[in-house]
Amino acid sequence: MTNNVADHHPGNSVAEGNHEGDFGCSVMELRNLMELRSAEAVARLNDSYGGVQNVCKRLKTSPVEGLSGNPTDLEKRRQVFGQNFIPPKKAKTFLQLVWEALQDVTLIILEIAAIISLGLSFYHPPGGDNERDLLPSDGILIQGNDLKIDESSLTGESDQVKKSLEKDPMLLSGTHVMEGSGRMVVTAVGINSQTGIIFTLLGAGEGDEEKKVKKGKKPGAPENRNKAKTQDGVALEIQPLKSQEGVENEEKEKKKVKVPKKEKSVLQGKLTRLAVQIGKAGLIMSAITVIILVLYFVIDTFGVQGRPWRAECTPIYIQYFVKFFIIGVTVLVVAVPEGLPLAVTISLAYSVKKMMKDNNLVRHLDACETMGNATAICSDKTGTLTMNRMTVVQAYMGDTHYRQIPDPEAILPKVLDLIVTGVAVNSAYTSKILPPEKEGGLPRQVGNKTECALLGFVLDLKQDYQAVRNEVPEEKLYKVYTFNSVRKSMSTVLKNMNSGFRMYSKGASEIILRKCTRILDKNGDPRVFKLKDRDEMVKKVIEPMACHGLRTICLAFRDFPAGAEPDWDSENEILSDLTCIAVVGIEDPVRPEVLKPQHSCGCPMPTFLSHT
495 Rama sector, left if φ>0, alpha if ψ -120 to 50, beta otherwise:
beta
Q: Identify whether the C-beta of residue 376 lies closer than 8 Å to the C-beta of residue 389.
A: no
Question: Residue 228 — pLDDT band, cuts 50, 70, 90?
Answer: very low
- Residues 351, 405 within the same domain: no
The answer to which of 180-194, 210-224, 455-469, 516-530 has the lowest mean pLDDT is: 210-224
Domain boundary, last residue among 216, 239, 271: 216
d(C-alpha 348, C-alpha 330), whole Å: 30
The CA R_g of the chain, rounded to the nearest whole Å, is 36
Which residue would you say has higher pLDDT here, 379 or 321?
Answer: 321
Q: Using an 8 Å Cβ cutoff, are 207 and 41 in contact?
A: no
Of residues 262, 264, 261, 293, the one with CA closest to residue 276: 264
| Claim to verify: residue 22 and residue 60 sit in the same structural domain | yes
| DSSP per position, 82-122 | --S--PBPPPPPHHHHHHHHTTSGGGGGGHHHHHHHHHHHT
Can you count the helices (H) and strands (E) in the chain? 24, 17
Same domain, 453 and 554: yes
Q: 597 in a domain, yes or no?
A: no
Nearest CA to 309 out of 298, 324, 293, 319 is that of: 298
What pLDDT score was predicted for residue 292?
Answer: 93
Whether pLDDT at 462 is above 70: yes
Residue 201 lies in a domain: yes
Instruction: Summarize pLDDT for 16-73 with one digit per residue, the tens.
Output: 444 555 788 888 888 888 888 888 888 888 888 888 888 888 888 888 888 888 888 8
* Residue in 22, 133, 380, 577 annotated catalytic: 380
Whether residue 462 is found in the same domain as residue 526? yes
What is the sign, positive or negative, of the torsion defined by CA atoms of 293, 298, 303, 304? positive
Same domain? For 403 and 551 the reply is yes
CA 334 to chain centroid = 50
Residue 113 lies in a domain: no
What would the mean pLDDT of 155-166 be, rounded to a whole number? Answer: 80
Residue-level pLDDT at 363: 75
User: Same domain for 361 and 295?
Assistant: yes
Q: Strands (DSSP E) along 41-189, which ranges?
A: 138-150, 161-163, 170-171, 176-188
41-55, 229-243, 525-539: least confidently modelled range:
229-243
Q: Maximum Cα–Cα distance for the chain, whole Å?
A: 138
Band the pLDDT of 612: cuts 50, 70, 90: low
Domain boundary among 177, 194, 216: 216
- Does residue 158 or residue 448 have the better pLDDT? 448
Is residue 354 located within the same domain as residue 433?
A: no
pLDDT value, residue 153: 78
- Round the average pLDDT of the chain to a whole number and report it: 79
In a domain, 124, yes or no: no
Q: Does the residue 224 lie in any domain?
A: no
pLDDT at 493 over 90: yes
- Cβ 286 vs Cβ 333: under 8 Å: no
Question: Looking at the structure, do residues 397 and 498 belong to the same domain, yes or no?
Answer: yes
Give the containing element (helix H, strand E) for 81.
helix 71-81
Per-residue confidence at 5, pLDDT binned at 50, 70, 90? Answer: very low
* Cβ(160)–Cβ(483) below 8 Å: no
Say which residues have a Cβ less than 8 Å from residue 321's Cβ, sequence separation at least 6. 294, 297
CATH number of 155's domain: 2.70.150.10
For residue 244, the model assigns a pLDDT of 45
Q: What pLDDT is attached to residue 258?
A: 47
264 by DSSP, 3-state: which? coil
Q: How high is the pLDDT of residue 50?
A: 86
Exposed, middle or buried by CB within 10 Å (0-12, 13-18, 19+), for 165? middle
Are 396 and 296 in a shared domain?
no
CB 149 within 8 A of CB 161: yes
Q: How far apart are CA 234 and CA 443, in angstroms?
A: 52
| Residue 38, in any domain of the structure | yes
| Lowest model confidence (mean pLDDT) among 171-175, 375-379, 476-480 | 375-379
pLDDT of residue 585: 95
Q: Do the beta carbons of residue 134 and residue 149 sit within 8 Å?
A: no
Residue 533 has, within 13 A of its CA and on its CB side, a CA count of 14
User: Are 56 and 157 within one domain?
Assistant: yes
CB 501 within 8 A of CB 564: no
d(CA 104, CA 343): 13
- The string of pLDDT tens digits covering residues 91-133 is 888 888 878 767 776 666 666 777 877 777 776 655 444 434 7
Return all residues near 236 (Cβ < 8 A) that are at least 6 apart. Answer: 242, 244, 247
Percentage of residues in the chain having pLDDT higher than 70: 80
- Does residue 402 carry a pLDDT above 90? yes
Q: Which of 163-167, 293-297, 383-387, 459-463 has the lowest mean pLDDT?
A: 383-387
Element (H, E) at 508: strand 501-508
Element housing 279 (H / E)? helix 266-298
One domain for residues 407 and 533: yes
Quickly state the pLDDT bin for 603 (edges 50, 70, 90).
Answer: low
pTM of the model: 0.48
Give the pLDDT score at 308.
Answer: 83
Amino acid at 367: A
Q: Can you list the pairs that 240-248 forms with residues at least 24 positions away whose Cβ atoms lie under 8 Å? A: 240/13
Torsion of CA 502, 506, 512, 516, to 10 degrees: 30
Range of the domain at 570: 391-587
pLDDT of residue 220: 43
For residue 575, the SS3 value is coil
Count of C-beta atoms within a 10 Å radius of residue 425: 23
Residue 200: enclosing H or E segment and its boundaries? helix 194-201
Does the pLDDT of residue 12 top 60, yes or no? no
Alpha helix (H) residue ranges in 299-434: 314-335, 340-357, 366-370, 413-425
**Cα atoms in the 13 Å half-sphere on the side-chain side of 119:** 6
Output the domain CATH number for residue 495: 3.40.1110.10
Inform me whether the pLDDT recorded for 519 exceeds 90.
Answer: yes
More confident residue, 575 or 154: 575
Q: Which residues pair with 88 in a beta bridge?
A: 205
Task: Answer yes or no: is 99 within a domain.
Answer: no
Residue 315: phi and psi, rounded to 5, are: -55, -35
Averaged over 325-346, what is the pLDDT?
A: 82
Hey, what amino acid is at 82? G
> Mean per-residue pLDDT for 134-160?
83
Which is more confident, 362 or 45? 45
380 is catalytic: yes
For the cut 50, the answer to whether the pLDDT of residue 247 exceeds it is no
Please report whether residue 125 resides in a domain: no
State how many domains the chain has.
3
Most confident residue range from 380-394, 417-431, 471-485: 417-431
- Asked whether the predicted pLDDT for residue 207 surpasses 70, the reply is no
Claim to verify: residue 26 and residue 154 sit in the same structural domain: yes
